[in-house]
Structure 1
Amino acid sequence: MKLSTIFAAGMLALSVAGCSTPTPETYAKQSPGLDITQYFNGTLDAHGMFQDRSGAVIKRFVVVMRCQWTGDTGVLDEDFVYSDGTRQKRVWTLTKTGQGSFTASAADVVGLARGTVSGNALRWQYVLALPVDGKVINMDMDDWMFLIDDKVMLNRTAMSKFGVNLGSVTLSFTKRQAPQ
């Protein structure tokens, strides 16, 4: 009887550990190290897609980002072109608030986005006001970016409302070569 109790407790501990969510610190020792003031400086091209909760691709898009920093403040000026021909502009203003921590704002972000960088990873969490079928829905965004090398970063964003998964966004960023 005692052995079965120990086994059950061990299995419970393993199942709880398996459900833990990674934090940016999980990636602290991963390289190359991400410095967002360096990576998001200059022009970047991004290619992405939005998938609904079933995994179906709903929209594809390309983005040109023009980024620059002055001191602890960065501006990311994004121009989107979607597969259906629609266009969108978003301008982020990022502020470095401490070692590895940032806030950001944009016209369609409710309140402030909060971000943490550790190792090669950046996690942003924010609420995005998205137009859907003539209404605006405030979506919770859990945005993870991983630096692959000095030119490429991958991004995966989980979208939810009231804790219910509504879809995801996948992006690949490529930093343009600076003119010589």
Structure 2
Amino acid sequence: MKLLAALFLSLGLSGCASTGVEQYRSEQPELDLKTYLNGTLDAWGVFQGRSGEVKKRFHVVIDARWSGDTGVLDENFTWSDGTVSRRVWTLKRQPDGSYRGTADDVVGEAIGELAGNALRWRYVLALPVDGKVIHVDFDDWMFLIDDTVMLNRSYMTKWGFNLGEVTLSFVKRQARQ
């Protein structure tokens, strides 16, 4: 019985292990945040609960600008229930090529690792739920598809338990000729 319990525990823990961003190092096109996250972008997404049911849809317009190694992403959300919200990120490229980010509703700093066409962005979000604020762990995976499209899948957890997922499709607006 102990052996069976140990086997299930080991399988369960290995299922929690996450893949590193390094496996995407050779994937193209290469994601350069200062290039892609510069200008105006539109993103459309859904939030799905634990069961996979879509709870909310949203559109976000992002105004992104850089000065040296510091970027500001001004995100304006319109939710399917008619509410609006805003998040302003400040991103800073680190000497080792990683990124750190802050926003008013992010607890501490977000940490971003970049390799090939992929960005893994991890942070704790202070999320308002039913009149309370809970701290939720986000594990964002972004993949550059081409010079205008990037896909994002975020896994939300609390104490290691799945709370839901956010899926987004970013489209970079082309400069007018």
Amino acid at match of 2:146: D
Alignment of 1:144-163 (within 5 A): 144-163=141-160
Alignment of 1:1-180 (within 5 A): 19=15, 21-180=18-177
- Alpha-carbon deviations, 1:100-153, whole Å to 9, x = none? 300000000000000011000000000000100110010000000000000000
Contact residue 32 and residue 120 of structure 1 kept, 8 A: yes
Aligned residues: 165
Partner SS state of residue 38, structure 1: helix
Mapped partners of 1:65, 1:74: distance in 2:
12
Give the aligned CA root-mean-square deviation in angstroms: 1.4
Mapped partners of 1:172, 1:39: distance in 2:
13
Amino acid at match of 1:87: V
Shift of 1:179: 1.8
- Alpha-carbon deviations, 1:26-70, whole Å to 9, x = none? 100000000000000000000000000100000000000000000
Mapped partners of 2:40, 2:97: distance in 1:
22
Contact residue 100 and residue 118 of structure 1 kept, 8 A: no
Shift of 1:22: 1.4
Residue identity (%): 61
What TM-score does the superposition give when structure 2 sets the normalisation length? 0.90
Amino acid at match of 2:85: Q
What TM-score does the superposition give when structure 1 sets the normalisation length? 0.89
Which residue matches 1:12? none
User: Structure 2: where are the runs of 5+ without partners?
Assistant: 1-10
User: Structure 1: where are the runs of 5+ without partners?
Assistant: 1-14
